[in-house]
A = this chain, B = another copy of it.
Amino acid sequence: MMEIIDGGLTTPQGFKAAGVHCGVKYRSLDLGMLYSEVPARAFVGYTSNKVKSAPVQVMMAENSEFLSAVVVNSGNANALTGRRGIEDAITMKNVAAMELNIDPKQVGVMSTGLIGRFMDMHKVRYGISRAARELEFGREADSLLAEAIMTTDTIKKESAVRVRLTDGTLVTIAALSKGSGMIAPHLKVLQGTTLCMVTTDAVLSENFHGTWENILEDSMNMVTVDGDQSTNDTCALLANGKAGGNCADGDPNFIHALQKVMTDIAKMLALDGEGATKLIEVQVFGAETKKDARSAAMSILNSPLVKSAIFGSDPNYGRIMMALGNSDCKFNIENVRLTIKGGDMEVPILDSGAPVFQEERSVEVVRMAMDNKEVTIVVDLAAGSESAVGWGCDLTYDYVRINAEYAT
């Protein structure tokens, strides 16, 4: 069975982490490192933005089956930096490999921060060297790495579970993510700026790629803060097998536990969206295809009008239908049912293409449901049997403020 634990990336056996300040950012930690004592099988999803950062290009080209370390910096995305950027990303791998005495192919690299500026490699080299010497395990090490990869994040996004596999082996899964703006990841397993690292001591084979892709599709790829997919999104799962036991590829307990961790992270990303005050969950049922269901959920979550209405608890539910109508999803408006949930309230809004009620007093009930930290929009399309769930956040003054002054 699965147990939710207070853990981080180094809670699974055989992982260490570090986070240091090297000067890419003015004061805060800006360089992190994750290390596995034994090479871990790696499953990595990358942004599908056509403009890919240098570290993404370098990792995709190498496409390593095993990773022993990942080096990450914040403050500079090393994107839109041409050939010099590529060389800098390769240097980051090489320096880490030298410090850790491992093959450069076994070093992953991720960057997040401002786009379009060259890295100050003097600082980054120093940071990598220091991080390699400070690798530790335990909650403090987890925390340092978590801090080192944050940009406009306001909360650390960690989730960890311990799960007993069907063969009796006890394994741990932990995930760490960052991301607050430019969030609408659409990660493709090759084989945001959302950076995400997931560690587990379970044994996985290369056959796990498909399952990992499916889990990403239902978690990270169903999160949107602003519909803007980053040039740097990378999500790496490292499985070092230290817990022993059978291969967990098809173990339902393992898959369920990993889904749980990734869903947690997805919701944290949405809730910590830049300037967000509310988490919005959209549940779409009764779609003809899975793609329709996803498209409907994402269209609603990406609508600035829906997002700002929810910020103000403004019962302007017509906008939800406007957004649904702009999606690629097929439906007959006369069959659609719409419900808004918030707190312990569940308010039916639309039935058979027309609002359930009209009086101002009833509309007030919608406002009360919306006036909660978590607002859930349930759409039943009555067009089939597929469903999808997605997460987003409200559009607030602070989103505008943060993004009007980002580079300043």
Query: Using a CB–CB distance below 8 Å, which chain A residues touch chain B?
Result: 49-52, 77, 79-85, 114-118, 181-182, 226-231, 302-305, 308-309, 311-312, 314-319, 321-327, 331, 333-334, 350, 352-355, 358, 363, 395-397, 399-408
Contact = CB atoms under 8 A, between A and B. Distances in A.
A183 to B, nearest CB: 10
B318 A115 contact: yes
A315 B404 CA distance: 9
A115 to B, nearest CB: 2
Contacts of A316: 114-116, 406-407
B395 A400 contact: yes
Given A50-B325, A84-B354, A314-B405, 15 more contacts: A50-B331, A82-B352, A115-B316, A115-B321, A182-B319, A227-B227, A227-B302, A228-B322, A228-B323, A229-B326, A304-B403, A308-B399, A308-B403, A314-B404, A363-B407
Given A314-B406, A314-B407, A354-B85, A321 B116 contact: yes
A82 B227 CA distance: 31
Interface centre among A83, A311, A314, A322 (most CB of B within 10 A): A322
Contact of A322 (B51, B84, B324, B354): B51
Contacts of A325: 49-52, 229, 231
Nearest to A330: B50
Given A314-B404, A400-B396, A358 B118 contact: yes
A318 B400 contact: no
21 contacts: A79-B321, A80-B318, A80-B350, A80-B353, A80-B354, A84-B354, A116-B321, A116-B355, A226-B303, A228-B304, A228-B322, A228-B323, A229-B322, A229-B326, A231-B321, A308-B400, A314-B403, A314-B406, A395-B400, A397-B401, A399-B400
A148 B47 CA distance: 47
A316 B113 CA distance: 11
Contacts of A230: 322
A25 to B, nearest CB: 15
A408 B314 contact: yes
Nearest to A77: B318
A163 to B, nearest CB: 36
Contact of A404 (B51, B81, B311): B311
Nearest to A226: B304
A205 B5 CA distance: 73
Contacts of A395: 304, 400, 403
Contacts of A77: 318
A310 B407 CA distance: 12
A312 B403 contact: yes
B81 A322 contact: no
